[in-house]
A and B are shown apart, each in its own frame.
Chain A
Amino acid sequence: MGAADVSSPYPEPPHVISGDTRAVVLLGAQRFDPSLADAVAELGVEGKIAAITAGWQEREEEDDDLQEHLGGRTVNLRLHARAEEVFKNDPDLQAAHRERQAILRHRQDFYRIRLEHALDAQHVIANRAAPKDILDDEARASIQAIRDIDRSHLERCVRDHKAFEERWRPLERPAVADQIGEIAEIVKDCEAIAIAGGHVASLLNRLRMFDIAKLAAGKVVFAWCGGAMAVSERVVLFHHSPPQGPGAAEVLDEGLALVGDVVCLPQPEFRLRLDDRERIRVMARRFAPATCLALPARSRVTWLKRGPKDPSGVLALRDDGMHTRFEVSGGGGIGS
């Protein structure tokens, strides 16, 4: 038996998966109390599952627990190791890749400097006393300034990627194309793709390198933690209590955009101060109209062609600084 019928009766909602993917399931952390097998069973996936653990980097192949949890039917695509092989066989591409990464690091540094100042300004203004209508207007302006910085950063990243791809045409280079061919052969026999978390930048890089978004066509995609971030439109790094002081959430890059209009925030138990209304408010407003979804352990939501379905344990950040259970309205749109 193949995958269950995952078509949806919902009318057109704003939050959709990319055209070719059958379904995308976003899950909370799987390390200690995995719920992936339940999700796989509920969607009727009984065939092989291509596993992507590239976010674990050198530990990529230490996937025994995942194998066991899914009844031994995973095939690890070894994207991290394959990337190493690509670099070994194509030193020019490796050098170009390193150069691009250095550029992106600079971009991220400069973006962070601008962002921190804008967030500081927002904080100062939010704590001033003034007539409400003025404060509301200024609060909107503060958020807009932050959004402009985010947008401008993202545009620069996209421009850098585009320049890299136009110059080096990585997908057409034999070292990459051969690997993509092998991966495609494996994925062809799989019903689903499971994308684990880990180092989200490294994972995203490998997903892009081997054009996984294209290979996901017709498949069900299960993604958790860094994997969930990578398959969304926009990857946002966040931690409200890092050791170096108050943490500012920062946009890293575009994701694969297999699901639209959500920002995935895994491990909120450790990373988000959900009781800090100002921070939650800023996050929700900053990334709107995308919904910020906190994905605690054992949480799950399935994205079908026309929108999300059956969210369980997922939290939505609200623009008033509160958070509520993420719920899907009758029409398949998002409510909270």
Chain B
Amino acid sequence: MKRSMRPSSASMRAAPKSAIQQLIDSRPDAAKVDRFLEGRSIPIVEGPAVTFVWRGEANGVSLRHWIFGLESGSALTRIPNTDLWYLTLDIPHGSRVEYKFEIHRSDRSEWIEDPRNPNRARDPFGANSVLQGEGYAVPDWVRPDPTSRPGLLEPFGFHSKAFGGMRSGHIYLPARFRKTRLYPLVVVHDGRDYLNFAVMKTVLDNLIERLEIPDMIVAFTDSPDRIREYPNDERHARFLTEELLADLTHRLPIIDRPQARCLMGASFGAVAAFSTAYRYPGVWGRLLLQSGSFAFTDIGKTNRRGPLFDKVVEFVNQVRANPVPVSERVFMSCGVYESLIYENRSLVPLLDSTGMQVKFVEARDGHNWENWRDRLREGLSWLFPGPLMFIYE
């Protein structure tokens, strides 16, 4: 039998050239680059291959991102005879990556957003460009929906004996708020940031309208010194539990059961939420902990993250030595592109072993507010299932 020497057409077929490679092969000039960029979505997402491009005169261009485990500062390559720079990376399905370009010129370097990418994320430090990898889409429930009845945000001021000073924040009341009804309470750390950068009011309005969470009262709190007050500060726990909770329960129709009380926060805010619950076991029946800064050591007290984390390490080591149930349900989330993924993964089985119900969700994202925004639906609805399961119209 004559055996064909020609491999199957499938194996012969070369992988299609990327758009940037086709451009390079065409030995482009400025006009070709113009045509190449015209109307094209940037970065160029071709399956898992993502090409970042920047155009301009510079001595060098680097990609700055916050993906832990992938070298930041990777250099873009200039296409000969053009002012177009590019870098292609393999980015896993469903990823969302925040980045900037670092432009090197003879006398200085500067970090800039990608001028050709309209997707950007704001945070307390400014804004970043956002790569929406293949398979990632901004959830529809984070956008204002005209059919969702808006809740009310009211400012509140509060004199804290624990801190010896004023504390302020905002109270969210659902659209159909009635004084004769009783509501669960969620207390949010870094409330202003959750409102500004994770659009949490819009998220609440939409999830409530869609029956995915119940009507709820949400207290958005802020700290003037979160770095000191959030990592397991006795005053903070006392303020939240003995003062704020007591005051809100007195003033508002809040269900007076642990199952209806939730503490939530991200990063150091998650440490604040968990450490408060740990100091007051049984009071806060629900915890929503996002990208918690749960640093610990297995031996010794020195941690690689520096002195800011000393109190965190002391606390988490204590929890690891003496894991006890402090709440009923704990929702945890963390980005796999965060260095904290190790600490968060480590905490899950520990909490689980205490008999608390723990749900842990990972996302291909980093330590940022839109990651935390994108996990709110799953977290809130798992801690507080809405009437969706009860309503059949």
Give A contacts to B, CB under 8 Å. Answer: 29, 31, 55-56, 109, 113, 196-202, 225-226, 229, 237-239, 242-245, 247, 250, 252, 266-267
Q: Does B359 contact A (CB under 8 A)?
A: yes
**A225 and B378 form a contact (CB under 8 A):** no
C-alpha spacing A229/B207, complex, angstroms: 25
Q: Which one, B207, B259, B387, B392, contacts A225 given CB within 8 A?
A: B392
- A194 CB to closest chain B CB, in angstroms? 14
- B8 CB to closest chain A CB, in angstroms? 32
**B378 and A198 form a contact (CB under 8 A):** no
B 225-259 contacts with A by CB, 8 A? 259
**B392 and A198 form a contact (CB under 8 A):** yes
- A244 CB to closest chain B CB, in angstroms? 4
Q: Which one, A109, A197, A243, A245, contacts B393 given CB within 8 A?
A: A197
**Known contacts A55-B393, A197-B392: A245-B382 contact under CB 8 Å:** yes
C-alpha spacing A199/B378, complex, angstroms: 22
**B388 and A200 form a contact (CB under 8 A):** no
Residues of chain B within 8 A (CB-CB) of A199 are 387, 390-391
With CB as the reference atom, state the residue of chain B lying closest to A31. Answer: B393
C-alpha spacing A197/B390, complex, angstroms: 10
With CB as the reference atom, state the residue of chain A lying closest to B382. Answer: A244
5 further contact pairs, Cβ within 8 A, besides A29-B393, A55-B391, A245-B378: A109-B259, A202-B390, A226-B391, A239-B388, A267-B392
**A245 and B389 form a contact (CB under 8 A):** no
Residues of chain A within 8 A (CB-CB) of B390 are 199-202, 237, 252
**B393 and A226 form a contact (CB under 8 A):** yes
Residues of chain A within 8 A (CB-CB) of B160 are none
Q: Which one, B259, B388, B392, contacts A242 given CB within 8 A?
A: B388
With CB as the reference atom, state the residue of chain B lying closest to A265. Answer: B392
Q: Does B357 contact A (CB under 8 A)?
A: yes
With CB as the reference atom, state the residue of chain A lying closest to B384. Answer: A244
C-alpha spacing A69/B387, complex, angstroms: 28
C-alpha spacing A199/B207, complex, angstroms: 17
C-alpha spacing A239/B386, complex, angstroms: 12
Count of residues in B whose CB is under 8 Å from the partner chain = 17
C-alpha spacing A209/B378, complex, angstroms: 35
Residues of chain A within 8 A (CB-CB) of B359 are 245
Q: What are 8 of the A-B contact pairs (CB < 8 Å)?
A: A31-B393, A55-B393, A198-B391, A199-B391, A200-B392, A226-B393, A229-B392, A242-B385
- B290 CB to closest chain A CB, in angstroms? 16
With CB as the reference atom, state the residue of chain B lying closest to A113. Answer: B357
- A32 CB to closest chain B CB, in angstroms? 10
**A239 and B389 form a contact (CB under 8 A):** yes
- B383 CB to closest chain A CB, in angstroms? 8
C-alpha spacing A312/B357, complex, angstroms: 44
**Known contacts A242-B212, A243-B212, A243-B377: A200-B382 contact under CB 8 Å:** no
C-alpha spacing A226/B211, complex, angstroms: 15
B 347-393 contacts with A by CB, 8 A? 357, 359, 377-378, 381-382, 385, 387-393
Which of A29, A202, A226, A243 has the most chain B CB atoms closer than 10 A to its own CB? A243
- A28 CB to closest chain B CB, in angstroms? 11
C-alpha spacing A29/B390, complex, angstroms: 15
C-alpha spacing A225/B391, complex, angstroms: 9
**B378 and A226 form a contact (CB under 8 A):** no
- B328 CB to closest chain A CB, in angstroms? 9
Residues of chain A within 8 A (CB-CB) of B391 are 55, 197-200, 226
- A251 CB to closest chain B CB, in angstroms? 12
Residues of chain A within 8 A (CB-CB) of B393 are 29, 31, 55-56, 196-198, 225-226
C-alpha spacing A135/B391, complex, angstroms: 37
Residues of chain B within 8 A (CB-CB) of A196 are 393
- A121 CB to closest chain B CB, in angstroms? 16
With CB as the reference atom, state the residue of chain B lying closest to A267. Answer: B392
**B381 and A243 form a contact (CB under 8 A):** yes
C-alpha spacing A56/B359, complex, angstroms: 33
Residues of chain A within 8 A (CB-CB) of B385 are 242, 244
Residues of chain A within 8 A (CB-CB) of B259 are 109
**B381 and A242 form a contact (CB under 8 A):** yes
C-alpha spacing A266/B389, complex, angstroms: 12
**B392 and A226 form a contact (CB under 8 A):** yes
C-alpha spacing A197/B378, complex, angstroms: 27
Which of A202, A229, A242 has the most chain B CB atoms closer than 10 A to its own CB? A242
With CB as the reference atom, state the residue of chain B lying closest to A196. Answer: B393
C-alpha spacing A109/B285, complex, angstroms: 13
C-alpha spacing A199/B391, complex, angstroms: 4
Residues of chain A within 8 A (CB-CB) of B392 are 55, 197-198, 200, 225-226, 229, 266-267
- B325 CB to closest chain A CB, in angstroms? 14
- A156 CB to closest chain B CB, in angstroms? 19
C-alpha spacing A271/B393, complex, angstroms: 12
- B187 CB to closest chain A CB, in angstroms? 20
C-alpha spacing A1/B36, complex, angstroms: 78
B 44-72 contacts with A by CB, 8 A? none
Residues of chain B within 8 A (CB-CB) of A226 are 391-393
C-alpha spacing A201/B27, complex, angstroms: 70
Residues of chain B within 8 A (CB-CB) of A225 are 392-393
With CB as the reference atom, state the residue of chain B lying closest to A109. Answer: B259
C-alpha spacing A319/B235, complex, angstroms: 58
C-alpha spacing A200/B393, complex, angstroms: 9
Residues of chain A within 8 A (CB-CB) of B207 are 243
Residues of chain A within 8 A (CB-CB) of B377 are 243
**B378 and A243 form a contact (CB under 8 A):** yes
C-alpha spacing A106/B37, complex, angstroms: 60
C-alpha spacing A244/B357, complex, angstroms: 14
- B103 CB to closest chain A CB, in angstroms? 42
Residues of chain A within 8 A (CB-CB) of B381 are 242-244
